[in-house]
């Protein structure tokens, strides 16, 4: 895996401290520990396999060996805006996948990427607040690059991969491309171009959805993404709701 980390470094256009390991429980879990102990921004940890990959809302993230890209990055943001950081990560993944594989992905607010109607990537940002706001944030990205030999099991109807099994392994190139694109967006979080790139790829635009925020449930049609990356929903009674957190499900769909 040292070779894998070196390959990534070769493709990178900035300084990152990249480590790759064959197996770990969760790269997010491990980097949260390192962030709390003072590790700097730009520390990156990748694993070929995770035994306890974590998703949002306490879910797990299926992370079999040899086919996915599972990695986390430590960030120490000047501005504590987890929603925009997640948005920048979604744009970076979509742009990198386009550059490396010429595949177009859609972004389902806020953190899932879809190829046709299959989820191929999930993003999990976890942070710790200090006296001055968000002290650090660990951004975790999991991508199903190649279809796993054993299939997706119970996720078969929901999950997909970018490519079939057996294609040449370009995961190092993809990882570096994502990091290059991500840091470019991260450094200009308020640039309208980043927001525009996100909006252009919105999977939910114009769709009827059910949104969940804590105990609240909203039904309506997605009419856009606001300037702060919030989801804009028009309820059936015409009222417009702006969601900055929560979970969205498509009508008649998962």
Binding site for ligand BTN (CB under 6 A): 26-28, 50, 53-56, 59, 61, 70-72, 112, 122-124, 140-142
Q: How far is the CB of 58 from ligand BTN (least distance, A)?
A: 10
User: 22 or 192: whose CB is closer to ligand BTN?
Assistant: 22
Sheet harboring 112-115: ordered strands across? 17-24, 43-50, 68-75, 133-144, 118-130, 112-115, 106-108
Q: How far apart are CA 143 and CA 140, in angstroms?
A: 10
The two beta strands, 216-225 and 208-213, are: antiparallel
Q: How far is the CB of 47 from ligand BTN (least distance, A)?
A: 8
User: 141 or 225: whose CB is closer to ligand BTN?
Assistant: 141
Q: How far is the CB of 139 from ligand BTN (least distance, A)?
A: 8
User: 235 or 249: whose CB is closer to ligand BTN?
Assistant: 249
Q: How far is the CB of 111 from ligand BTN (least distance, A)?
A: 6
Q: How far is the CB of 44 from ligand BTN (least distance, A)?
A: 11
Q: How far apart are CA 235 and CA 4, in angstroms?
A: 48
User: 89 or 100: whose CB is closer to ligand BTN?
Assistant: 89
Q: Which residue is nearest to ligand BTN (CB)?
A: 122
User: 45 or 195: whose CB is closer to ligand BTN?
Assistant: 45
Neighbours of 38 (CB within 10 A): 8
Q: How far apart are CA 222 and CA 20, in angstroms?
A: 39
Q: How far is the CB of 128 from ligand BTN (least distance, A)?
A: 16
Q: CA separation (Å) from 204 to 123, 141, 231?
A: 17, 21, 9
User: 53 or 148: whose CB is closer to ligand BTN?
Assistant: 53
């Amino acid at each position: 895996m040292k070779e894998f980390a070196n390959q990534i470094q070769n493709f990178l256009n900035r300084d990152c401290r990249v480590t790759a390991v064959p197996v770990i429980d969760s790269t997010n879990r491990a980097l949260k520990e390192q962030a709390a102990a003072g590790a700097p921004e730009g520390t990156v940890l990748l694993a070929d396999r995770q035994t306890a990959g974590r998703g949002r809302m306490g879910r797990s993230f299926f992370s079999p060996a040899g086919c996915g890209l599972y990695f986390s990055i430590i960030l120490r943001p000047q501005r504590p805006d987890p929603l925009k950081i997640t948005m920048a990560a979604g744009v970076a993944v979509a742009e990198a996948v386009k550059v490396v594989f010429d595949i177009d992905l859609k972004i389902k607010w806020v953190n899932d990427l879809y190829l046709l109607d299959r989820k191929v990537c999930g993003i999990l940002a976890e942070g710790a607040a200090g006296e001055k706001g968000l002290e650090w944030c660990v951004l975790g990205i999991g991508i199903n690059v190649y279809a796993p030999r054993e299939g997706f099991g119970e996720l078969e109807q929901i999950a997909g991969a970018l490519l079939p099994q057996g294609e040449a392994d370009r995961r190092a190139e993809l990882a570096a491309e994502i990091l290059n694109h991500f840091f470019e967006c991260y450094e200009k979080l308020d640039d309208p171009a980043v927001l525009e790139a996100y909006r252009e790829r919105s999977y939910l635009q114009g769709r009827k959805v059910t949104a969940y925020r804590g105990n609240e449930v909203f039904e309506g049609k997605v009419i856009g993404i606001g300037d702060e990356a919030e989801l804009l929903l028009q309820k059936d009674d015409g009222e417009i709701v702006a969601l900055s957190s929560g979970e969205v499900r498509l009508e008649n769909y998962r």
